[in-house]
Chain A
């Protein structure tokens, strides 16, 4: 056990400090704007992204010729970047469906032409992406999806409906799962196809969430077209390609950048602050117990990330623990929200606003947004019950 960092890594930490300091004004603007908008849509974000890629902090796994920083795999460096960027209110990697989900998938399964055309503008934050997986009749049971793609000469013709499509209203392209092999077994008839969103056959209708925001959409595909060359991987191999993306999505959701610890610290502060009648929530033994447990869970989650990372750096797997990450994280998140609501007074009735994932709410409206937003976290990227099944079957080995 060694929690110190060698001189090389301490140097990296100072270097990141200096980098963030040199760009302090831009960092502050982005951190502030990201409270109300997805960072990838903030106008000055590409400017910062380019600087962070050039400095070797963002796009580390992506080859230079595709717009990445091309750094050797280094779990410790990734941890330091995550902690330092997290402290500054910034994500530890380029945000959005493109860099997070499409880029690693394309790197693993795309052909040279696809990588050259799509990766550089994606990494430069010039292309926005959305994920076309879920359908009205294919939620947790994703493999029952029925959007069809049929070949017409050298073009796919796509018909069907997608739903819960985050960012579809801003997206240039969708990476979409379509059924291309009628009669094949359910997992074997699916293909992964890139569809241009700016065409007549694509209609996007925003859905209003219970938070009041509209992040996700319904997408109607009516004779939408995509070139044959937009097929990623083999025909009928789309399920395997998609699982790469899903793995990346869940791993990115369980990550520990210290956010929960900072949120719990804010809860302690609230609990220690006397209300109008001079009463403090911390003097309630039930609240004190909940806060202690949350502090322990946030700490355990953070140390578990260190454990996963250390074992990964040593080339060892931590399968069961990694599978648990998303479920553990979403439960802590929900309980932080519940704990705050338990302490709140009529400020609980303020219109939710101004919270983004990874931040510490600074006012009642933002805490209310967290209270509601944490519900979505337990659903997106595979519901908590789906996660329980994965933990039980793939982690513990219980019978299917």
Chain B
């Protein structure tokens, strides 16, 4: 029994934390916004050197900490508001890496793994438009049908791809409604993959949201410790102090929840799907709530474009609805419980 990250995972988190802090500081993030949120391809290639995109692409032994490793990375991505479809690209590679017909599989994996290519990812149906993160930057789009387990790989750079409404609120991951052009580059039914991809996507977004939410608590704490009013740091006033304590108390326990959900996926515990579903819903809701409260802690400056807080708040709004809304996840979890019915008296106590 050891409910903690391994030394390797801790080291990986530290490495990413240092790298992202250096590359994606406040100035660079604002420059990215000023550029309209267009993906920096050179930076994407550079980032690939960390091995990030390969995290879940290779099928390994049951029990290997694949989901937890990837989630530990996603936490750091969220913590530094790293622009680009990091989680969608990990998921796209997770799907491509498990295609059974070789085809272009290894070519795609090499191009995506080295950052030469960019992938978006969505759950959807054949022929129906999907909301795809960073679709205008991406070369490939992987669509997984949760109802029947079909996987399609689409070329987004070919003629005939219809880009519908842009959803550009979160400029670190601007999304578009895309109707890919037929035929797809590849179509395949991979048995047993859709549930895993669904759970994985939820845990990775939950970890991204946790990283962002805990960063908001840190930003609020730092600001309240340094900002002076009435001749003292505003963090000395209990009104504000308790607000920040409540933010921390809302966020910190979630760490153990996404750790568990990721680990449960890796070792195949029976409650893995349920915990991934709940973790995604509650952690993204907390992120949005804490993001809003951080704006309030910062006061007027927090309401400006030049402050960093809105970048995180908008990422929280992205995480809240992608790939499913918290509302849909609650309905799913409640329905599952309702179908399980009423246990025989005495079994629950």
Q: Which residues of A contact B (CB under 8 A)?
A: 1-6, 9, 76, 79, 262, 265-266, 268-269, 272-273, 280, 282-283, 285, 288-289, 291-293, 295-297, 299-301, 303-304, 306-307, 309-311, 313-314, 320-321, 324, 327-328, 331, 360, 362, 385, 388-389, 391-393, 395-400
Interface of B is mostly: helix
A400 to B334, CA, bound (A): 44
Indicate which residue in B3, B242, B337 contacts A309 across the interface (CB closer than 8 Å).
Answer: B3
How many residue pairs link A and B with beta carbons under 8 A? The number is 165
Given A328-B253, A398-B225; 5 other pairs, CB 8 A cutoff: A262-B349, A303-B260, A310-B3, A313-B2, A360-B349
Instruction: Assess the B256–A306 pair: CB atoms within 8 A.
Output: yes
Instruction: Assess the B349–A272 pair: CB atoms within 8 A.
Output: no
A306 to B4, CA, bound (A): 9
Instruction: Report chain B residues within 8 Å CB of A321.
Output: 252-253
Number of interface residues of B (CB under 8 A): 54
Instruction: Report chain A residues within 8 Å CB of B267.
Output: 3
Q: In the complex, how many angstroms separate the beta carbon of B246 from the nearest chain A beta carbon?
A: 7
Instruction: Report chain B residues within 8 Å CB of A400.
Output: 236
A299 to B271, CA, bound (A): 11
Cβ-closest chain A residue relative to B233? A399
Indicate which residue in A4, A300, A309, A397 contacts B253 across the interface (CB closer than 8 Å).
Answer: A300
Instruction: Assess the A266–B242 pair: CB atoms within 8 A.
Output: no
Does B20 interact with chain A (Cβ within 8 Å)? no
Instruction: Report chain B residues within 8 Å CB of A272.
Output: 337-338, 341-342
Interface of A is mostly: helix
Instruction: Report chain A residues within 8 Å CB of B341.
Output: 272
Instruction: Assess the A388–B3 pair: CB atoms within 8 A.
Output: no
Indicate which residue in A306, A307, A309, A324 contacts B249 across the interface (CB closer than 8 Å).
Answer: A324
Residues of B293-349 whose CB lies within 8 A of A: 327, 329-331, 333-334, 337-338, 341-343, 348-349
User: Sorted from nearest, which 8 A-B pairs have the closest CB atoms?
Assistant: A288-B334, A303-B256, A306-B3, A300-B257, A388-B245, A392-B245, A296-B278, A398-B235
Does B119 interact with chain A (Cβ within 8 Å)? no
Q: In the complex, how many angstroms separate the beta carbon of B227 from the nearest chain A beta carbon?
A: 11
Q: In the complex, how many angstroms separate the beta carbon of B63 from the nearest chain A beta carbon?
A: 10
Instruction: Assess the A391–B253 pair: CB atoms within 8 A.
Output: no
Q: In the complex, how many angstroms separate the beta carbon of A259 from the nearest chain B beta carbon?
A: 11
Given A1-B3, A299-B275, A398-B235, verify A307-B330 contact (CB < 8 Å).
no
Q: In the complex, how many angstroms separate the beta carbon of A49 from the nearest chain B beta carbon?
A: 24
Q: In the complex, how many angstroms separate the beta carbon of A257 from the nearest chain B beta carbon?
A: 14
Instruction: Assess the A300–B2 pair: CB atoms within 8 A.
Output: no
A307 to B257, CA, bound (A): 10
Instruction: Assess the B334–A292 pair: CB atoms within 8 A.
Output: yes
A365 to B157, CA, bound (A): 66
Contact with A along B58-97 (1 / 0, CB 8 A): 0000000100100000000000000000000000000000
Given A269-B343, A299-B260, verify A262-B1 contact (CB < 8 Å).
no
Indicate which residue in A273, A309, A320, A362 contacts B252 across the interface (CB closer than 8 Å).
Answer: A320
Does B107 interact with chain A (Cβ within 8 Å)? no
- For this complex, 18 residue pairs linking A to B, each with C-beta atoms less than 8 Å apart, are A1-B6, A1-B65, A3-B263, A272-B341, A272-B342, A280-B338, A289-B327, A291-B334, A292-B330, A297-B282, A299-B275, A300-B257, A307-B4, A310-B2, A320-B248, A321-B252, A389-B242, A395-B245
Q: In the complex, how many angstroms separate the beta carbon of B205 from the nearest chain A beta carbon?
A: 15
Which one of B241, B255, B279 has the greatest number of beta carbons of chain A within 10 Å?
B241
Instruction: Report chain B residues within 8 Å CB of A306.
Output: 1, 3, 256
Instruction: Report chain A residues within 8 Å CB of B334.
Output: 282, 288-289, 291-292
Instruction: Assess the A269–B342 pair: CB atoms within 8 A.
Output: yes
